[in-house]
Structure 1
Amino acid sequence: MINISHKLLLHYIHQQDYNGWDLFDGLNSTLLQNTPLYKFEFIRLAVIQFFKRSPLNLRKLASVPKGYNPKGLGLFASGLLYSGKYEEAENLLVQLKSMRCPGYSGVCWGYNFDWQARAFYVPKGKPNIVTTVFVANSFLDYFEKHGVAEAFNGLDTAISACEFILNHMVLSEDEDTLCFGYIPGEEARVHNANMLGAALLARVYSHTKNRKYYDKSKKSMAYSIKAMKNDYSWPYGELNHHQFVDNFHTGFNLVALKGWMDSTGDMAWENELRDAFRYFLETFWLKKGCPKYYNDTLYPIDIHCSAQGIVTCLKLADYDSRSIPMAHTIAEWAFKNMQDKRGFFYYQKTRWYTNKIPYIRWSQAWMFYALSFLLSKQNPKL
């Protein structure tokens, strides 16, 4: 069943040419951009939330074009590498090199839409650390399989991304800790963004032995480890409205910490990782693999949680005997309950309705990456 689900999804992705709408792309509406309303922050936030929450896809009516999302392309490229489709992955990586954000010291990537959050406004093309990390990891995935290719050197790209992080993303640093920001020039502190940055630095350290990357990444990890609660949960961030504990961001944190430990050989936080993973398994999942969104709330049931859940269980398989069976259970629940017969995955199920909009990054890229990774574990020769 997983093979069939994967093939159906890849067929749909090929039909779309990796191009599509995004959960947060409402501000790409040319109708809105051509009115004075666009300059008001509360209008921009309301538009983002409207398109995000509506089960009806009104983007065509609002003249929101489909687009190529760098983070989505990075996930697709990594998934294609896991699937043994190297030439197709190379094409996406070449495309990603042309989508870099100019004007920064080091390579970096952002989203293909203006983005209004409660904490900040980010214009299209401004980089963020999360997108940069996932894209850089796709180049590293290629490098670790093929080394230096004629068209590009994935390690050089990842090194340059690390320099961007160190030059532009440090919010605070003292003798023991460091915190990376999400967006250049913005002060919001988000733990998954901080830890993802640390994990990338550590992964590049494993290839270069650049001690600066190890030292900075360890201080960054120490910052977010201190934020862990007594029950081994993590709040999303430090602002008042960032105190929630949710499924997939917790998964990001766990995978980032595990990746950091694997890359550095430093096992200082192994006990914390083991306990936090147990919390993840016992808090965010129903028995048949249905994901809870928050630690205390089932709805909305979100495909992003399913995808990250598969990845998290596979990456941390050595820490709990339930991991591998759980990854399969999550995958089976997802394609039985969230996959359309045309191949794409739905966005969310709420208490009252299912939102079937086929978001290219949030749903398709993440599930393709997760299922490709799962299948690669079954067939290590890929």
Structure 2
Amino acid sequence: MEIKELVTELSDYCRSYSYAGHDPYDALNSPLIQRLTFKNKYLRIIATQLVRRSPINIRPLLGIQKGENPKGIGLFLWGYTKLHRMDPKKEYKEEMGYLFSRLEALESQGYSGSCWGYNFDWQSRTFFRPKGTPTIVNTSFIGHALLDAYETFGEKTYLEKALSIRHFMLKDLKRTRLDEDSFCFSYTPVDTAVVHNANMLGASLLIRLYAHCREEEVKVAALSALSYSMKHQREDGSWYYADTFSEKWIDSFHTGFNLQALRWFIQEGHGESYREAYNKGVDYYASNFFLEDGTPKYFHNQVYPIDVHAPAQAIVFFSGEGEEYRDLTEGILRWTVRHLYSGEGWFYFQKNRHWMNRISYMRWTQAWAFHSLTEYLRRKTIT
């Protein structure tokens, strides 16, 4: 099947549900689970993991409704922006207008600037984040999509919404300082989690925003946050997910997020001093997360479970690395379509060693597939 045809089928599928669906981590939206976990951290984590790992979608039995996830909406907006760049159809622009209106409606309230969270409560090992608590990751992806939409159409509403994000990042997020010249942004305003992909994604959005606002505070914050995570890059070019004892793993798609963030700095003319580190990171990414047939590994030292995020982010990233990585990109793409595409307009969640999780998740799976395939088509058109 041609990728353009696949994208059309995926678009039709997602539009038929108005971009609403279940999510791997939405267990706490269940009224039953809310009662049975008694607000206990460990019971919340266990319940979330049991629902996430189930190969059968038991959410309807638990009263979990399908919903709109802001990050997913942002990824769909980004995808239609790319489609419009290649083929300026009226329907793409109309879809973008609808998705932008949904982002406005889903925006978290009570913060210094525009920001977005998840449509479910979220319990981690260290913090409880209520539904709607804005995250730097969600907000950064949406911000990048808004900037690309503005650069495509020149409509100031997209730019104004993106620029508003800088106030959220600079005023509402906490900072963990390493030294005088570097700090890490928190994951949300209610925690102090130090997570490198989140920090670098936020920093990369700020450096792109700086090109439009020219505020020195924005540039300084972006470079300081980047400095923090670059000082934590390992000698082989990799990063741990975070530097707490329980979070020292190295996985595929978060590695891709880190490198994509760093590439934005280089493209904006503010990351040349990290060029060698970037090249080392790209080499590590390409050399440690893929088998010869394009199979995307989850961790650097473990293949399964193969989560759709791994090939999706790899396609996004390596599509932008040019001819040197074309064979790798094509191999990952072929593997993804062969093993994770349902044949009915949507993608599966995970492939495990002996079984497949075929549940359709709108944000985690379909939005990421749409984002990656449209990026592949855009890059292929450019070259």
TM-score with structure 1 setting the length:
0.95
Question: In 1, Cα distance between the equivalents of 2:106 and 2:313?
Answer: 25
Post-superposition shift, 1:36? Answer: 5.2
Residues 129, 190 of structure 2: 8 Å contact kept = no
Post-superposition shift, 1:209? Answer: 2.0
* Counterpart residue type for residue 12 of structure 1: Y
Question: In 1, Cα distance between the equivalents of 2:229 and 2:382?
Answer: 33
Aligned to 1:147: 154
Cα deviation code 1:195-223 (max 9, x no counterpart) = 00100000111222222211111111110
Aligned to 1:79: 79
- Secondary structure of 2:272 counterpart: coil
Cα deviation code 1:60-112 (max 9, x no counterpart) = 00010000000000000000111111220121011101111111111110000
Post-superposition shift, 1:378? Answer: 2.6
Question: In 1, Cα distance between the equivalents of 2:262 and 2:369?
Answer: 22
- Secondary structure of 1:119 counterpart: coil
- Secondary structure of 2:119 counterpart: coil
RMSD of aligned C-alpha atoms? Answer: 1.4
Question: In 2, Cα distance between the equivalents of 1:178 and 1:359?
Answer: 34
Post-superposition shift, 1:31? Answer: 2.0
Aligned to 2:109: 102
TM-score with structure 2 setting the length:
0.95
Residues 194, 224 of structure 1: 8 Å contact kept = yes
Matched, 1:304 2:312: no
Aligned to 2:184: 179
Q: How does 1:154-233 map to 2 (within 5 A)?
A: 154-173=158-177, 174-233=179-238
Residues 182, 228 of structure 2: 8 Å contact kept = yes
Unmatched 5+ stretches in structure 1? none
Residues 20, 67 of structure 1: 8 Å contact kept = yes
Residues 199, 259 of structure 1: 8 Å contact kept = yes
Cα deviation code 1:162-198 (max 9, x no counterpart) = 1101111132344210210101131210000000010
Question: In 1, Cα distance between the equivalents of 2:192 and 2:149?
Answer: 33
Question: In 1, Cα distance between the equivalents of 2:77 and 2:155?
Answer: 17
Question: In 2, Cα distance between the equivalents of 1:78 and 1:238?
Answer: 31
Post-superposition shift, 1:235? Answer: 0.1
Give the alignment partner of residue 335 of structure 1, picking from 337, 341, 350.
337
Moved more, 167-176 or 155-164: 167-176
Post-superposition shift, 1:265? Answer: 3.9
Question: In 2, Cα distance between the equivalents of 1:225 and 1:374?
Answer: 28
Q: How does 1:232-381 map to 2 (within 5 A)?
A: 232-317=237-322, 321-380=323-382
- Secondary structure of 1:178 counterpart: strand
Residues 188, 239 of structure 1: 8 Å contact kept = no
Post-superposition shift, 1:274? Answer: 0.5
Question: In 1, Cα distance between the equivalents of 2:31 and 2:198?
Answer: 30
- Secondary structure of 2:330 counterpart: helix
* Counterpart residue type for residue 57 of structure 1: N
Question: In 1, Cα distance between the equivalents of 2:29 and 2:36?
Answer: 15
Aligned to 1:46: 46
Cα deviation code 1:225-256 (max 9, x no counterpart) = 11111111100002111100000000000000
Question: In 1, Cα distance between the equivalents of 2:238 and 2:226?
Answer: 15
Question: In 2, Cα distance between the equivalents of 1:43 and 1:286?
Answer: 37
Question: In 1, Cα distance between the equivalents of 2:246 and 2:320?
Answer: 30
Identity %: 38
Residues 320, 379 of structure 2: 8 Å contact kept = no
* Counterpart residue type for residue 46 of structure 2: A
* Counterpart residue type for residue 322 of structure 1: E
Question: In 2, Cα distance between the equivalents of 1:196 and 1:12?
Answer: 29
Q: How does 1:91-130 map to 2 (within 5 A)?
A: 91-130=98-137
Post-superposition shift, 1:364? Answer: 0.4
Question: In 2, Cα distance between the equivalents of 1:240 and 1:141?
Answer: 37
Question: In 2, Cα distance between the equivalents of 1:324 and 1:68?
Answer: 34
- Secondary structure of 2:62 counterpart: coil
* Counterpart residue type for residue 82 of structure 1: K
* Counterpart residue type for residue 11 of structure 1: D
- Secondary structure of 1:88 counterpart: helix
Post-superposition shift, 1:288? Answer: 1.6
Cα deviation code 1:103-140 (max 9, x no counterpart) = 11111100000011112211101111101111122211
Residues 176, 192 of structure 2: 8 Å contact kept = no
Unmatched 5+ stretches in structure 2? 85-91
* Counterpart residue type for residue 304 of structure 1: H
* Counterpart residue type for residue 47 of structure 1: A
Cα deviation code 1:258-288 (max 9, x no counterpart) = 0122123440100000011000001000112
Moved more, 164-173 or 240-249: 164-173
Post-superposition shift, 1:25? Answer: 0.4
